[in-house]
Amino acid sequence: MKKAATKSINPCDIRAVANFYAAQLQLCCPHSPTSYPHARRVHAHMTTSGFKPRGHILNRLIDVYCKSSHLVLAHQLFDKIPQPDIVARTTMLAAYSASRKPDMALEIFNTTPLRIRDTVFYNAMITTHCHNDDGHAAIELFRGMRREGFPPDNFTFTSVLSASALVADRETHCQQLHCAVVKSGTGLVTSVVNALLSVYVKCASSPLVSSSSLMGVARKLFDEMPVRDELTWTTIITGYVRNGDLDTARQVFEGMEEKLVFAWNAMISGYVHNGFVSEALEMFRRMNLLGIKLDEFTYTSILSACASAGLFLFGKQVHAYILRMEDKLSWDFSLSVDNALITLYWKCGKVDEARMIFNNMPVRDLVSWNAILSMYVSAGRMNEARSFFIEMPERNLLTWTVIISGMAQNGLGEEGLKLFNQMKLEGLKPCDYAFAGAISSCAVLAALEHGRQLHAQLVRLGFDSSLSAGNALITMYARCGVVEAAHCLFLTMPFMDSVSWNAMIAALGQHGHGAQALELFEQMLEEEILPDRITFLTILSACSHAGLVNRGRSYFDAMYRLYGIRPDEDHYARLIDLLCRAGKFSEAEDVIQRLPFEPGVQIWEALLGGCRIHGNVDLGVQSAERLLELRPQHDGTYILLSNMYADVGRWDDMAKVRKLMRDRGVKKEPGCSWVEVENKVHVFLVDDTAHPEVQAVYNYLEELGIKMRELGYVPDNKYALHDVGSDKKQHGLSTHSEKLAVVFGLLKLPRGATVRVFKNLRICGDCHNAFKFMSKVVERDIVVRDGKRFHHFRNGECSCGNYW
DNA sequence: GTAGGGTTAG
């Protein structure tokens, strides 16, 4: 039947029919929603009428199918062509490139004979490599096409220049390509110079080169351009913005005769990213006054400005304005703006509102999901974060990074490391941020060997200059007890920020090197690194650990006066801790009286801790009572209070506290200590009998005890008595977990190696005393990290100076 | 038939 139909059309008519079909397909605009159904109808008509499309009609049909995302259909058609021409091949290849299927594009490329290839075809393949972030492949292909004698054109140069921006040695490639551009005669084509500008600008913002000279090259190109388009302006403006030179960016911007929305957006986002929120808002107001039509980029940038500056009310006004004109906006618009709105709400602490926006979004993308995940993580709502993560329809590197570092931040190191491994199993290559999350997990677990291995991997992968990983490593080494390694790393880091300084100051403070910590802080100020609220938390702790009361007090005063940072509850708590440890109770009470807020858990904990050290029972009882009201289920308060009564022999009161604890069903967190030996973590509990080699430990402990007593060690049974729930106390036989772990380390670790032990709770007084003697007897360093700080025992002394 | 900039998630 079909044959009959074909036969009935004579050659003249076939040409007329072909023209008809071509005209019909011409009606299909590339991205209109009606183009695909129309093309299908035309296609069906051809099939039923027996017309066999060839040449440009076929190519056009393939093109429409590709552009309307019907790649399978397009490819079926393509496969039916006996010898597809270069136009059909380029169309198919570019379609695969645009839909991020580089393997399919490469297959078409490789099966296309050299003799029919042309420059356009190579250009399309170079672009495919760019979209696949494979700069080297793109550059290699560019070289190949020149070897084969295909002349590069302006399209070739724009693509290969953007490829060179992707590679590490981009500056070299860029300069070579610049020469090739000049030789090819495309050196005055606007699009080519734009691409050149773009690479120079990117090279300049790389931290490894001196930016000023490269921005100079870019500026010269810009000044000498015969024709500039809007892209030119945006590129040069963002160039200055990325290099932090907002004044020059502004000058260039003001020099534009007709300021297009692109350029406004570049300025606004530049101000936002560099922290100049009021300038960004000023730009926004000016745009409104001039009646410039705002687009989704303007709104997202301005919402992000509000989010980072905490300008909730202004942001809400923008939100209301957007809602009023919502019906005029497209879906795509609403997606990115909704994402920015989520960020606005959660950064301003409105977690549930942010979740509502997410729930009501008609379309969501990964950015939306990742934003909510980050929100739960930073709010410490890890159960919600965990289930949200599982629910996610897709994940990318960022998703994994957020959840891994979130686990670490919330003390869930084991889960963090598990997720890091799972991520690798799923075939994702961790970036430096993901490594930072895994390293922080090691810091939480005090898993030194594991952390060292991650450090080694990091160096092998070339991430050793990474800021985030470096900062995480400082903290990891410090928290694993190797403060020297942390310091060494800090001194050799190629780039640093305030986080790096904070981490190192905190490391020195935790290890009892208070004076050094303060020295480093002064150096930080000299280098004009602005301290933040975390910096002050760490120096107040450092002062507290080292007993530097006066300096701590004066830093506290300087915080707001000199740096405009209002002290929060945690700053006040550290101040009170500092004062109480030094026995200055009336001053501490005075501070509490004049607090600008209701004292919370942290304040009373600090006070109680100080009272315990100095045996100030009355004040201690008062603060414990407040704590028991605020947090009745927390075990720590009961333990501290009962220990305090025991210290002064008030056994009845002690018994009452224990009864109260039992009545309320509060369980004491069992004390445990652990030590890493040959990459394996050995955990000990009080009076441990479970560890397979525990008998050897008890034997060696006895042996050491004899030598220690010869040097003057007197066991203090008072502390053993305090162990709630331990029935061996009357005999004074109880052996704390930290003693077992230290002795196991002494037995198992190589001769002379430092023993590093970690304990979940605070170290006990008798153990502290015992380790001093032990370090002298065995002539080895012993490091113990307890819940609060580090103790370095060496030659009979502890780094804390008994001040803890 | 092929190219290039600005946004939102760490």
Specify the pLDDT at position A591. Answer: 92
A516 CB below 7 A from strand B atoms: no
Per cent of chain A over pLDDT 70 is: 94
Is pLDDT of A725 > 50?
no
Specify the pLDDT at position A5. Answer: 45
A333 CB below 7 A from strand B atoms: no
Specify the pLDDT at position A802. Answer: 67
Q: Give the SS3 label for residue A465.
A: coil
- In whole angstroms, B7 C1' to A151 CA is 37
Is pLDDT of A729 > 70?
no
Specify the pLDDT at position A27. Answer: 78
DSSP A583-601: T-HHHHHHHHHT-SS---H
Amino acid identity, position A339: N
Looking across all nucleic acid strands, the nucleotide with the smallest C1' to CA distance from residue A299 is B7
A192/A190 Cα distance (integer angstroms): 5
- In whole angstroms, B6 C1' to A465 CA is 29
- In whole angstroms, B7 C1' to A360 CA is 21
- Would you say A57 and A66 are in contact if contact means Cβ atoms under 8 Å apart? no
Q: Residues 14-33, chain A: which have Cβ under 7 A from strand B?
A: none
Nearest alpha-carbon partner for A762 in A804, A720, A699: A804
Confidence of residue A212 (pLDDT cuts 50, 70, 90): low
Q: What are phi and psi of A704, to 5 degrees?
A: -65, -40
A335 CB below 7 A from strand B atoms: yes
Nearest alpha-carbon partner for A487 in A457, A461, A458, A519: A519
Residue nearest to nucleotide B7 (CA to C1'): A297
A307 CB below 7 A from strand B atoms: yes
Q: Which pLDDT tens digit goes with each residue over A330-359?
A: 555 678 888 999 999 999 889 999 999 999
- In whole angstroms, B2 C1' to A89 CA is 12
Q: Which pLDDT tens digit goes with each residue over A98-133?
A: 888 899 999 999 999 999 999 999 999 999 999 988
Q: Which pLDDT tens digit goes with each residue over A659-677?
A: 988 999 888 888 889 988 8
For chain A, how many residues are written? 804
A221/A451 Cα distance (integer angstroms): 48
- In whole angstroms, B5 C1' to A387 CA is 38
Q: Residues 577-616, chain A: which have Cβ under 7 A from strand B?
A: none
A35 CB below 7 A from strand B atoms: no
Q: Which pLDDT tens digit goes with each residue over A561-578?
A: 888 888 989 999 999 999
Confidence of residue A167 (pLDDT cuts 50, 70, 90): confident
Nearest alpha-carbon partner for A709 in A767, A765, A772, A773: A773
Specify the pLDDT at position A732. Answer: 45
Specify the pLDDT at position A728. Answer: 45
Q: Provide the terminal-to-terminal Cα distance of chain A, rounded to the nearest Å.
A: 98
Is pLDDT of A6 > 50?
no
- Secondary structure of A412-438 as H, E, C letters: CHHHHHHHHHHHHHCCCCCCHHHHHHH
Q: Residues 400-459, chain A: which have Cβ under 7 A from strand B?
A: 401-402, 405, 431, 433-434
Is pLDDT of A193 > 90?
yes
**Nucleotides of chain B within 7 Å of a protein C-beta?**
1-10
- The predicted model gives A18-31 an average pLDDT of 78
Specify the pLDDT at position A11. Answer: 58
Which residues, 6 or more positions from A537, have their beta carbon under 8 angstroms from its beta carbon? A570, A571, A574
Is pLDDT of A716 > 80?
no
Confidence of residue A273 (pLDDT cuts 50, 70, 90): confident
Is pLDDT of A232 > 60?
yes
Is pLDDT of A370 > 50?
yes
- In whole angstroms, B5 C1' to A37 CA is 34
- In whole angstroms, B10 C1' to A258 CA is 36
Q: Residues 374-403, chain A: which have Cβ under 7 A from strand B?
A: 374, 378, 396-398, 401-402
The whole-angstrom distance between residue A727's C-alpha and the CA centroid of its chain comes to 48
- In whole angstroms, B2 C1' to A119 CA is 8
Q: Which pLDDT tens digit goes with each residue over A755-765?
A: 999 998 888 88
Long-range contacts of A371-377 (CB under 8 A, 24+ apart): A371/A339, A371/A342, A371/A343, A371/A346, A372/A342, A372/A346, A373/A399, A373/A402, A373/A403, A373/A406, A374/A346, A374/A402, A374/A406, A375/A342, A375/A346, A375/A351, A376/A351, A376/A406, A377/A402, A377/A403, A377/A405, A377/A406, A377/A409, A377/A410
Amino acid identity, position A622: Q
- Would you say A60 and A22 are in contact if contact means Cβ atoms under 8 Å apart? yes
Looking across all nucleic acid strands, the nucleotide with the smallest C1' to CA distance from residue A119 is B2
Specify the pLDDT at position A709. Answer: 92
Q: Residues 116-175, chain A: which have Cβ under 7 A from strand B?
A: 118-121, 123-124, 127, 130-131, 153-156, 158-159, 162
- In whole angstroms, B10 C1' to A467 CA is 13
What pTM was estimated for this model as a whole? 0.78
The token pair that represents A168 in the structure block = 């590490």
- Would you say A230 and A208 are in contact if contact means Cβ atoms under 8 Å apart? no
Where on the phi/psi map is residue A786: left (φ > 0), alpha (ψ -120 to 50), or beta? beta
Specify the pLDDT at position A55. Answer: 76
Most confident among A46-50, A421-425, A647-651 (mean pLDDT):
A421-425
Q: Which pLDDT tens digit goes with each residue over A756-791?
A: 999 988 888 888 999 999 999 999 999 998 877 888
Nearest alpha-carbon partner for A454 in A444, A437, A445, A467: A437
Most confident among A120-124, A180-184, A258-262, A488-492 (mean pLDDT):
A120-124
- The predicted model gives A488-514 an average pLDDT of 90
Looking across all nucleic acid strands, the nucleotide with the smallest C1' to CA distance from residue A300 is B7
**β-pairing verdict for A680-685 and A755-759:** unpaired
Specify the pLDDT at position A724. Answer: 46
Average per-residue pLDDT for chain A? 87
A38/A45 Cα distance (integer angstroms): 11
A583/A759 Cα distance (integer angstroms): 27
A260 CB below 7 A from strand B atoms: yes
Confidence of residue A2 (pLDDT cuts 50, 70, 90): very low
